[in-house]
Chains A and B, each alone.
Chain A
Amino acid sequence: MEEDAGEEPGLGRCTAPTDFHFYHMDLYDSDSRLQVLPEESTGVRREAVQAERTYEPRGAREGQAHRALHEEADELVHLYGLEDDHELGDEIMDEDTPRLGTAEYPPYGVKRGDPAWEQRDWRLGGEAAEAEDLGFGGWGSRGQCQDLREAYRYTHGRASEEYECYVIPEEEDEEEAADVFCVTCKIPVRAVENLDAHKEHEVTPLNQALESAKDEIHKNMYKLEKQIIDMENFASHLEEVFITVEENFGRQEQNFESHYNEILETLAQKYEEKIQALGQKKKEKLEALYEQLVSCGENLDTCKELMETIEEMCHEEKVDFLKDAVAMADRLGQFLKTKTDVEISAQPDFEEQTLDFSDVEELMGSINSIPAPSAPVINPQAPNSATGSSVRVCWSLYSDDTVESYQLSYRPVGDGSPGKDQAEFTVTVKETYCSVKNLMPNTQYEFWVTAQNRAGSSPSSERAVYMTAPSPPIIKSKEIRSCEEAALICWESGSLNPVDSYTVELTQAEAPQAWGVTESIVGIPTCEALVQLQPRQNYTIYVRALNVGGPSARSEPATVHTTGSYFHLNKDTCHPWLTISEDGFTVMRSERKTPMREPLASNTRFTRCVAVLGNLIPVRGRHYWEVEVDECLDYTIGVAFEEVPRHEDLGANRLSWCLRHTFASSRHKYEFLHNKTSPDTRITVPPRRIGVLLDYANSRLSFFNVDISQHLHSFSCELHRLVHPCFSLEKPGCLKIRNGIPMPKHVTFY
């Protein structure tokens, strides 16, 4: 392999060798095996190789030659089965490289007694002889081995025209076919010869020797194969490393470049600054000197002027001279008194400039260290990833920077409440995600993250707003109304701020948890929902609140039984003298010692009639409920529209229909009142339990004595709008309402 590299530096041996053939080992077992290696095809291939060589330009030809050489080498290996192919290749190249200049590559063994071929053959034999590492040790001299192999091929009777005369003349002369093998001498010999030359040596039959030799060769072949695989893997790994080196180099290069640029810029900047400063200084000096010069000039002028004046004076008459002289003397005296500054104001020398390169040094120093990371990118909130108290924040780093940790900071998004500064929290994590807990529900939080390494901290990422899910709503269980086909559920939001919507989930309570189907109603905008249900089932109902962060946890469950109708009393309508029990189903009017004050008029509460309305589910189906009364009780029960006048008696208007019982003088009086009128109906057995059937479909309201299944009366009533059950007590006493009762059979006839 080393030779290869030496021989062909320019051919880019970085890539792994193109093919490694499977080396067919059992060459000498039988005729048929030998047939596997048809010379014809090999010959064809060689010719093809030759043709290739002929048609290609020279440069390519070299490469072509190389490939062809490989193929040829393989062929030879096939034929001879054993040599290291590279050695063969080497040999071929050695042979061929000088020949490339020539037009043709001599074809293999086509011509009779081709001297070149023969020559080569010998050479190959020689090479083979040098291949010590293959542990060849069973054969005699290499040349002889080679010859013998050849001999064996042809004694087996190949019918190839081409090779008929392909015989090495010398060998034939030298020996006849050997039939035993001398282990000592490691040569095949004739048994006959045994007698004398090898009589003391260990001899084995030739076949046996063959076998053992083949085994040896097999072992070596396995080793070779393994080596080939290892080399292949190594080569591909090297490739990868190669690429990585390039990449890393690229990065480093970039890094260094930017650093150095920075340094250079700094230096340039410094230079500019210094030069500017110097320039400034020069200017200052020059200006000072100039000023001096100017004043000097002035001085000079004055001196000259004086001098001239004095000279003129000297030419004057004595009297004038004397006059002027005194003045002149004064002037001169004055003048000469003023000090002339002959000190040079600005020195020509410039100070030593200290060059401050500390920051440059710093920069230089920082080249060796890794840069601080670039800012991470914080992800928007993934839907449904929040709970009522936590959010899962994720971010990414879009660069190959080294990061040792991340710092996630957050604070609640305030709605501008003044004064209280929202607290900021920070968490340090090693991952690119974090579940932040202990947050307030249904609240928005602002998150931002920075990456850190030894060199420092990255700039902060953009701020992302995440929202926690809301806290679960609270179902108002006591206010659930239902009938056989539906239920009206209402709840409290559970959150201070508005949520986006609510979801109602219902399961049939009888179904086992595992395979109960949960039905959901989503997108409910308000805190109530009218839900369609199946009759005579038990349901468990949950409500969730929903916002951008996701759904809240389930509320506490509420149960609904779709048997009969279920309503509660509307406390807002209750006359002040009536009290409703804790469970909401007993209505009482107590004895009062003191005279009762008439309550003030109201739109909601009954003021005249001591009554209360119920809240029936707004479903126009059939509703049935029962009222338990005392025989002596004065009561009125029935239905009324929501807007029934609160200051009138029940049944005294068109907006209510009811049964009124009055007990006086041991006589029971029953009236069926609507608009103040009642049919004259006598009832001999006073009912204790009254069933009330409200049938929207048939526009009928019926009353029954439940205990004896007796029908008392039916109203035909036009019910364009929804009505509610109504109850009143004309005297102290109590009545008890029963809900959720399935309609008895006798009632169904009505």
Chain B
Amino acid sequence: MALKQVSSSKSFGGFQKVFEHDSVELKCKMKFAVYLPPKAESAKCPVLYFLSGLTCTEQNFITKSGFQQAASEHGLIVIAPDTSPRGCNIKGEDDSWDFGTGAGFYVDATEDPWKTNYRMYFYVTEELPQLVNANFPVDPQRTSIFGHSMGGHGALICTLKNPGKYKAYDATHLVKSYTGSQLDILIDQGKADEFYDQLLPENFIAAYTEKKIPVVFRLQEGYDHGYYFIATFIADHIRHHAKYLNA
């Protein structure tokens, strides 16, 4: 599959690039962002996938979170895909902000008219990694995944459904049936998050406690849901992943 570089900017000694390609799974043009640290020039690097939340594209994370510094320091390639297929012209896809465009939820749709294009789970776990492995100096054995909001949910799903695929994992809620290998999950939750009640962290914690899945869940006083919150703690999260990816 041919990749077309859309943009490239030097950042913290590495490069923040955006590529576009024709997705077979999603049957449309998809963009994704790649950050290549300085280390990538000479060696294969571990790769970290970031799944963005509702209404985001591949741009929000790379422009607002300020993750490049930590990624550069730890020598990680960070891939940030889009949140849903674009321009598929499916009826109703733009009706609500939390369903359809920009709200792929990282699942494979099972119903029409969505099921042709809305296959974000497969895209994130199969197609995109293959593309990335073929085109960038990544070490496919060392992969990790995290995300924000809907992306956090997406990361957890991917992890729980693919035990052993990801070295370090972030929040999910579907852990009850998880029987896979050891997880180590770090979750930051803004206490002033307007969506707090929707997110139901207590249930989450209870479920993980019961399953004895190691989670450190940090309730951060005063922080909301947005990218300022992400930017504050992104370094901790990248370090959390680097601990396993660079071990």
Interface residues of A (CB under 8 A from B): 679-685, 705, 708-713, 745-746, 749-750
Contact = CB atoms under 8 A, between A and B. Distances in A.
B220 interface: yes
The 7 A-B pairs with the shortest beta carbon distances in the complex, nearest first, are A680-B219, A682-B217, A684-B209, A684-B215, A685-B214, A684-B208, A749-B243
Interface of B: 182, 184, 186, 191, 201, 205, 208-209, 212-221, 239-240, 242-243, 247
A680 B191 contact: yes
Nearest to B239: A749
A684 B173 CA distance: 13
A681 B218 contact: yes
Given A708-B184, A708-B214, A710-B184, A681 B219 contact: yes
Contacts of B217: 681-684
B212 A746 contact: no
Contact of B247 (A681, A684, A745, A750): A745
Nearest to B207: A684
Contacts of A683: 215-217
B220 A711 contact: no
Given A684-B213, A709-B184, A711-B216, 6 more contacts: A682-B201, A682-B218, A685-B212, A711-B186, A746-B243, A746-B247
Contacts of B218: 679-682
Given A711-B243, A749-B239, A679 B212 contact: no
Given A708-B182, A709-B184, A681 B243 contact: no
B237 to A, nearest CB: 11
A323 to B, nearest CB: 161
A749 B242 contact: yes
A683 B209 CA distance: 8
Nearest to A707: B214
Contacts of A679: 218-221
B176 to A, nearest CB: 13
Contacts of A682: 201, 205, 215-219
Nearest to A748: B243
Contacts of A745: 247
Contacts of B221: 679-680
A721 B201 CA distance: 40
A332 B65 CA distance: 164
18 contacts: A679-B219, A679-B221, A680-B219, A680-B221, A681-B217, A682-B205, A682-B218, A683-B217, A684-B205, A684-B208, A684-B209, A705-B214, A709-B243, A711-B186, A713-B216, A745-B247, A749-B239, A749-B242
B184 A681 contact: no
Contact of B216 (A710, A746, A749, A750): A710
Contacts of A746: 243, 247
A710 B184 CA distance: 7
Contacts of A680: 191, 218-219, 221
Contacts of A749: 239, 242-243
A749 B241 CA distance: 10
A55 to B, nearest CB: 104
A711 B212 CA distance: 16
Nearest to B205: A682
Contacts of A685: 209, 212-215
A97 to B, nearest CB: 114
Contacts of B213: 684-685
Nearest to B74: A749
Which has the most chain B C-beta neighbours within 10 Å: A705, A709, A712? A709
A682 to B, nearest CB: 4
A681 B242 contact: no
Contact of A712 (B216, B220, B247): B216
Contacts of B212: 684-685
A708 B212 CA distance: 11
A30 B209 CA distance: 128
B168 to A, nearest CB: 11
B219 A710 contact: no
B137 to A, nearest CB: 23
A746 B212 CA distance: 21
Which has the most chain A C-beta neighbours within 10 Å: B208, B212, B216, B239? B216
Contacts of B243: 709, 711, 746, 749
Contacts of B216: 681-684, 710-713
Contacts of A712: 216
Which has the most chain B C-beta neighbours within 10 Å: A682, A713, A745, A749? A682
B214 A710 contact: yes
B170 to A, nearest CB: 14
Nearest to B206: A684
Contacts of A708: 182, 184, 214
Nearest to A679: B218
A713 B243 CA distance: 15
B90 to A, nearest CB: 39
A513 to B, nearest CB: 40
Contacts of A713: 216
A711 B168 CA distance: 13
Contact of A711 (B182, B208, B219, B240): B240
A278 B201 CA distance: 137
A713 B216 CA distance: 9
Contacts of A705: 214
Contacts of A681: 216-219
Contacts of B239: 749-750
Which has the most chain A C-beta neighbours within 10 Å: B184, B214, B215? B214
Nearest to B247: A745
Nearest to A685: B214
Nearest to A705: B214
Nearest to B191: A680
Contacts of A710: 184, 214, 216
Nearest to A682: B217
A711 B217 CA distance: 11
Contact of A684 (B214, B219, B240): B214
A713 B212 CA distance: 19
A746 B201 CA distance: 27
Nearest to B183: A708
Contacts of B214: 684-685, 705, 708, 710
A681 B247 CA distance: 26
A680 B243 CA distance: 23
B27 to A, nearest CB: 40
A705 B214 CA distance: 10
Which has the most chain B C-beta neighbours within 10 Å: A679, A746, A749? A749
A685 B208 CA distance: 9
Nearest to A670: B216
Contacts of B220: 679
Contacts of B201: 682
Nearest to B188: A681
A746 B217 CA distance: 19
B156 to A, nearest CB: 14
B95 to A, nearest CB: 36
Nearest to A680: B219
Contacts of B209: 684-685
A685 B185 CA distance: 11
B232 to A, nearest CB: 13
Contacts of B182: 708
A711 B213 CA distance: 14
Contacts of B247: 745-746
A681 B240 CA distance: 16
A750 B243 CA distance: 9
A684 B217 CA distance: 8
A708 B215 CA distance: 11
A663 to B, nearest CB: 13
A685 B217 CA distance: 11
A682 B202 CA distance: 9
Contacts of B208: 684
A711 B184 CA distance: 9
A679 B217 CA distance: 11
A722 B213 CA distance: 37
A102 B186 CA distance: 135
A350 to B, nearest CB: 128
Nearest to B186: A711
Contacts of B219: 679-682
